[in-house]
Structure 1
Amino acid sequence: MVNRLRAAVVKVFSAKHSLTLPTAALNYIEQVLQENDVPEEEWSTGLELWAREYLKGEESSSLVSLPALKKAYEILQLGVNDNDDMLDPSEVNIETHFSVVDAFDMPAVHFEAVRGGFTTSKNTPSLAGQASSRAAFLRERWGIIKEIILRNENFTPPAIAGHDRDNYLKLTSTRNLLGRVGQLFLLFGMLSRDPEGRLCLEDGEGRVRLDMDDAVPGEGMFTEGCMVLIEGEYTIDETIRVLAMGHPPSEKREVARSLHGHVDFLGGGAISLKEEQKFLPTVAVNTQVSFVVLSDVWLDHPRCLPALRKMFEGYAESVEFRPMAFVFCGNFSQKGWETEEGLKRYSNGFNALTDLLVSFPLLQSSHFIFVPGPLDPWSSSTLPRPALPSLLSARLKQRLPNVHFVSNPCRIRYFGMELVICREDLMGRMVRNLVGVKDVKGADMKRYTILDQTHLSPLPLSVRPTLWEFDHALRLYPMPSALVLADKYERYELTYEGCHVFNPGRFVGGGGEGGEFEWSMYYPATGRSERMCVFVVLPHFNLRHFGLVDDVDVTLTMCMAWKGIDSVRKVLDRIFADC
């Protein structure tokens, strides 16, 4: 009987579907059939269903792996097929599909250029890092983007030779430039400086100096540390006379997920593209789910806590649109912690915030996420940054159930969606280290630079140091569903290749005795964000700069989602009409 069973397995898997069965896989199939007492006449039918389900999986290959084989068997046991794999949205508990990921908890996933895929390191990353890690993370970053370029339609000629093949682009390495003076080349590499301080292009095989006198930059900002495509002429001086420079093409999240859906980038288990699509109706139906994102929440500012109270009151009264998560990004003090009595201000501010949050029981089902800013303790110039210290977070964690003090950057996982949150004054650093820029809007410049570079910090280590062995936590590949770039730069929002990018703006407004406090709300169902704000008018607020009246004694007032000064005038007019 054993010989007949093995012959049936080989006939279906190997002869019919051209699959190679290792001994472990073959033994597992025989074990399952024998333990379940499957009749001999049903062997072929059951094995055929098993083989087809295996081939549908994200991890399927001609050499059958035991984990993928077991996963296919589990799916067959659950009775899920192509016709009923969509779940009933009303039966899904969305809380079980929500998680906050700290940068230091993410698995160390490394890119292997030889096989063009990702592997998870068995070694635990170190804060100090080995010397080999210094160059390894840059090679990985270069290798990932190069694979994206080579998959782009402009770089993939048809397999059949023809006249059209000459119209496709081809990359040349720096090593292949020697002896080819006067020819035009397209190169890909990182902008850097040689020991003499001259600008050069560096790839995995060498380095060449750049002559930027005739260069025409493309869209976006170009800084040292950026990976760029350069078209230019190789000169007798062994330099490239740059004619055009541009950012590499980006790759949509769906394309990257279809290639690497089996890789667990965030920890907690990989979600295949098939499983992700199964939850799309659930995400679309839950239109009330939202994430509130605030930046520069200065707890020691006299108007910050009153504004937060008004904001919480508005959400507590709104049953249908109560946010699932509140994301507070630093800095949490105006002057940082290193000044005189700095830690005391931080401690008093978080104690006051704790008392404020406890006074709203209706909001305690929400998640409260705290991301440190550049000046928060313990301030460090490296990325990623650890969470705020326990002396500030302990009391808040004791009083509220769903509090997360996480690193900068951090990530939110909601079903198959990924929201990256980074609090960094990035625009200023990039402007100070420009190599070239085209005259476009600031938000567009940052969008092209960050997403096309697949990295949160496309700057040299001398400008923005990073922890070498935690560079994978700064990676933006696969492209996230949304990216929060909390910056002291002005607020903006835009969508690029399906990724929604926005800066919530500074929560604490400008000068004066009153002011506007703005933030953003992100809706996963639509993949869009919305500007929200409160306007706080304190007693005896001087309103002359609005062109209205002198000092007027009015009560504390709030207006949400104001778009400009005209709306402010209308609300104040109503206040004065009642006075």
Structure 2
Amino acid sequence: SQTEVRTQLSKAFRLHGLSLHPEATRTILAAMEHSGQAAVNPAQVIDRLVEAVLRLPLNSCHVQRSEIESLVAEQLLSGTAAAAAAIAADSPWLQVFDAFDPAAPNFRYDRDSRKLAPAPALPRPTSRSESGAESRVQLMRQRYEFLLQRLMRAPGFADCDPLTVGVGGVTGGVSGVIGGSIGKGSGGALRTVEFAKASGPDKQLVVLGMLTRSAEPNRWFLEDPTGVMLLDVSRCRFNEGILAEGCHVLAEGCYRQSEASFLMLEAGLPPAERPTDTRAALGSLNTFGGPATTCARLDARLGERERSSHAHYLVFVSDLWLDDSEVMSKLSLMLTGYSDSPPTGLILCGDFLSPVGRHAPDRVEQLRTGLRRLQALIDSCKPVQQHSTVVLIPGPSDCPLSPLLPYPPLSEAVAGDLGQQQQQRGGGRVVLGSNPCRLQFCTQEIVVYRQQLCEKLCRQALSCPAEGDELSGHFVRTVLSQGHLSPLPLHVSPVLWNLDRTLRLCPLPDLLVLADSACRHFQLRHADCLCVNPGCFKESGFSFHVYLPRRREIQSSCIAD
């Protein structure tokens, strides 16, 4: 009966130190009655609801109706036929989330609960000066702590916390975690820089820290929240990846007081973590984007919808030079070829001007003209206009007045009416996206980032792959291990301090598009994350990538002469 369900509901919340306002209770009971779940398994439904409420940023232990209305609709009404029909009819297959959206999820890692907690709401910054010095400090601390919490779940580092005095032990040094031969079985402890500087030369340690360097040549340092120490890399063995300034590394060695330096014997990147393991540890909070409170992967309705998406696919094109007549001709040919079966999403990445055009004095007018040509091309292909979501992601040269990451969408002054195209009945629309840009196809999370990242990492590297090695594999491993799209010092890759979270990859997405024209096109899978690079459209022989969400695979395509 409803009285018994009310009693169960009250007891479940009281067990967690919470009390429900009478109106909140009536709202939950009404939703359970409407969905038919009150008569099936009320205890399971109540437990799921309590878990979801505990993840909310509650103001007090008294839960109000206004705090849980949206959560109740999502948790209890998600299985109703009306809700499923609403999703099928109104929700687009491909959703686009802007990095500058003030409603975007913002979380920090809470060391006490070892969970993600909502970060304080901050106004949208327009310049680095508006962020404040505290934001700069929190930026570096959060980069470190997000890596540390992941490392403490890795085999060999389980439950060791270097920031807790007297805790920490590693079963095999750096080698035991990232693979290698030096120090295997050493049992070195995971410690902080402060602890390492107070230890003796016979004490072998493993330290997680960020690589930095001074203006003097060959002077590298390791830095963490407790301090900084000089590195001696003369005898160091470097493992896979690009170990660059700004990257966090695991350094194994000992501190020599006489030399006032840390003799680094082996160094490597922290291991990447599969997204399922991250969600299992940190909870089901939606850290990606959108109005939902839980991540899309747990939404049964979206999962069912995805399983029926046999005919849907996404097309990724990078470095689409709109001022190049040959490029526009090939693009027209590509759109014509898709007339019979238009893509669900057409993601076009900059730079939108050729190397000659982007250095011309009238480059803004050239860009404006090129975008008008693109609009005319889309309008001339009615199936694409009516059924495809076209996303324009600016490149580094398309935002000369905004050198700070993330890059804002193309301005309306440049794009004109292109970004004002309303969604058609079949789903067609044009979206001016930020860089990086987050896309969601049903339950799948997709991140698109256009940057010359591989080249920047190599320029700042302490250790690069040996000649003859496949650079793309090391590049992908570096980005995923850092869990960040810009693991570089701020003077090399400046970031809006308050928006550094938009560059974070935690958990890793299902698909990561690293559109890097300086690197050859590739497709690799690491830690259950598919990483691809379409390559420069023209210089790669007019090649592009097609993603099949139903099969979760990439197909390389090109436009023949």
Tell whether the 8 Å contact from 1:112 to 1:119 is kept in structure 2 after alignment.
no
Partner residue of 2:353 out of 333, 338, 341: 333
Q: CA deviation at 1:132?
A: 1.4
Q: CA deviation at 1:282?
A: 2.7
* 2:410 paired residue number: 388
Partner residue of 2:494 out of 445, 451, 465: 465
Tell whether the 8 Å contact from 2:515 to 2:534 is kept in structure 1 after alignment.
yes
Q: CA deviation at 1:74?
A: 5.0
* 1:121 paired residue number: 120
* 1:372 paired residue number: 394
1:59 aligns with 2:52: yes
* 1:109 paired residue number: 107
Tell whether the 8 Å contact from 1:50 to 1:76 is kept in structure 2 after alignment.
no
In 1, distance between residues paired with 2:141 and 2:298? 32
1:17-28 equivalence runs, <5 A = 19-23=15-19, 25=20, 27-28=22-23
1:408-423 equivalence runs, <5 A = 408-423=435-450
The residue matched to 1:483 in structure 2 has which SS? Answer: strand
Q: CA deviation at 1:478?
A: 1.2
Tell whether the 8 Å contact from 1:218 to 1:437 is kept in structure 2 after alignment.
no
Q: CA deviation at 1:32?
A: 6.0
* 1:303 paired residue number: 326
* 1:482 paired residue number: 511
Partner residue of 2:368 out of 347, 351, 357: 347
Q: CA deviation at 1:95?
A: 4.4
The residue matched to 1:254 in structure 2 has which SS? Answer: helix
In 1, distance between residues paired with 2:503 and 2:25? 45
TM-score, scaled relative to structure 2: 0.81
Unaligned segments of structure 2, at least 5 residues: 56-60, 161-168, 173-184, 424-428
In 2, distance between residues paired with 1:400 and 1:107? 26
Task: Return the letter of the residue paired with 2:440.
Answer: R
Q: CA deviation at 1:498?
A: 1.3
* 2:551 paired residue number: 526
Residues 9 and 227 of structure 1: CA distance in aligned 2, closer, same or farther (over 3 Å): same
Q: CA deviation at 1:294?
A: 0.6
CA deviation vs aligned residue, 1:63-88 (integer Å, no higher than 9, x gap): 896679767865786495xxx99x98
Count of residue correspondences: 507
Tell whether the 8 Å contact from 1:50 to 1:72 is kept in structure 2 after alignment.
no
The residue matched to 2:191 in structure 1 has which SS? Answer: coil
In 2, distance between residues paired with 1:226 and 1:275? 32
Unaligned segments of structure 1, at least 5 residues: 39-44, 511-515, 537-579
Tell whether the 8 Å contact from 1:54 to 1:69 is kept in structure 2 after alignment.
no
CA deviation vs aligned residue, 1:357-395 (integer Å, no higher than 9, x gap): 111111112011111112124354321111112133223
Over the residues paired in the alignment, what is the CA RMSD in angstroms?
3.5
Residues 478 and 366 of structure 1: CA distance in aligned 2, closer, same or farther (over 3 Å): same
In 1, distance between residues paired with 2:289 and 2:492? 27
In 2, distance between residues paired with 1:73 and 1:423? 38
In 2, distance between residues paired with 1:149 and 1:64? 36
In 2, distance between residues paired with 1:437 and 1:249? 18
Partner residue of 1:232 out of 253, 259, 264: 253
Tell whether the 8 Å contact from 1:89 to 1:281 is kept in structure 2 after alignment.
no
Residues 312 and 64 of structure 1: CA distance in aligned 2, closer, same or farther (over 3 Å): same
Q: CA deviation at 1:484?
A: 0.6
Task: Return the letter of the residue paired with 2:146.
Answer: I
The residue matched to 2:96 in structure 1 has which SS? Answer: strand
Partner residue of 1:189 out of 190, 209, 230: 209
Residues 381 and 209 of structure 1: CA distance in aligned 2, closer, same or farther (over 3 Å): same
CA deviation vs aligned residue, 1:530-562 (integer Å, no higher than 9, x gap): 1111123xxxxxxxxxxxxxxxxxxxxxxxxxx
CA deviation vs aligned residue, 1:4-33 (integer Å, no higher than 9, x gap): x79x9667754x89814534x164576569
The residue matched to 1:472 in structure 2 has which SS? Answer: helix
In 2, distance between residues paired with 1:200 and 1:524? 43
In 1, distance between residues paired with 2:10 and 2:154? 35
Q: CA deviation at 1:286?
A: 1.0
The residue matched to 1:490 in structure 2 has which SS? Answer: coil
Partner residue of 1:279 out of 302, 307, 317: 302
Name which one, 1 or 2, has greater alpha-carbon Rg: 1
CA deviation vs aligned residue, 1:470-505 (integer Å, no higher than 9, x gap): 101111111111011111121111111111100011
In 2, distance between residues paired with 1:304 and 1:475? 33
Task: Return the letter of the residue paired with 1:176.
Answer: F
Residues 435 and 252 of structure 1: CA distance in aligned 2, closer, same or farther (over 3 Å): same
The residue matched to 2:92 in structure 1 has which SS? Answer: helix
TM-score, scaled relative to structure 1: 0.79
Residues 30 and 114 of structure 1: CA distance in aligned 2, closer, same or farther (over 3 Å): closer
In 2, distance between residues paired with 1:405 and 1:273? 23
Tell whether the 8 Å contact from 2:18 to 2:62 is kept in structure 1 after alignment.
yes
Q: CA deviation at 1:140?
A: 0.2
In 2, distance between residues paired with 1:269 and 1:90? 15
Tell whether the 8 Å contact from 1:358 to 1:400 is kept in structure 2 after alignment.
no
In 2, distance between residues paired with 1:346 and 1:72? 44
Residues 425 and 71 of structure 1: CA distance in aligned 2, closer, same or farther (over 3 Å): closer
Tell whether the 8 Å contact from 1:358 to 1:399 is kept in structure 2 after alignment.
no
Tell whether the 8 Å contact from 1:396 to 1:403 is kept in structure 2 after alignment.
yes
Q: % of aligned pairs identical? A: 25
Of 520-529 and 397-406, more deviation after overlay is shown by 397-406
1:24-103 equivalence runs, <5 A = 25=20, 27-28=22-23, 31=26, 50-57=42-49, 58-59=51-52, 61=54, 74=73, 78=77, 80=79, 92-93=88-89, 95-103=91-99
In 1, distance between residues paired with 2:7 and 2:307? 44
The residue matched to 2:383 in structure 1 has which SS? Answer: helix
Tell whether the 8 Å contact from 2:357 to 2:366 is kept in structure 1 after alignment.
no
Q: CA deviation at 1:35?
A: 8.6
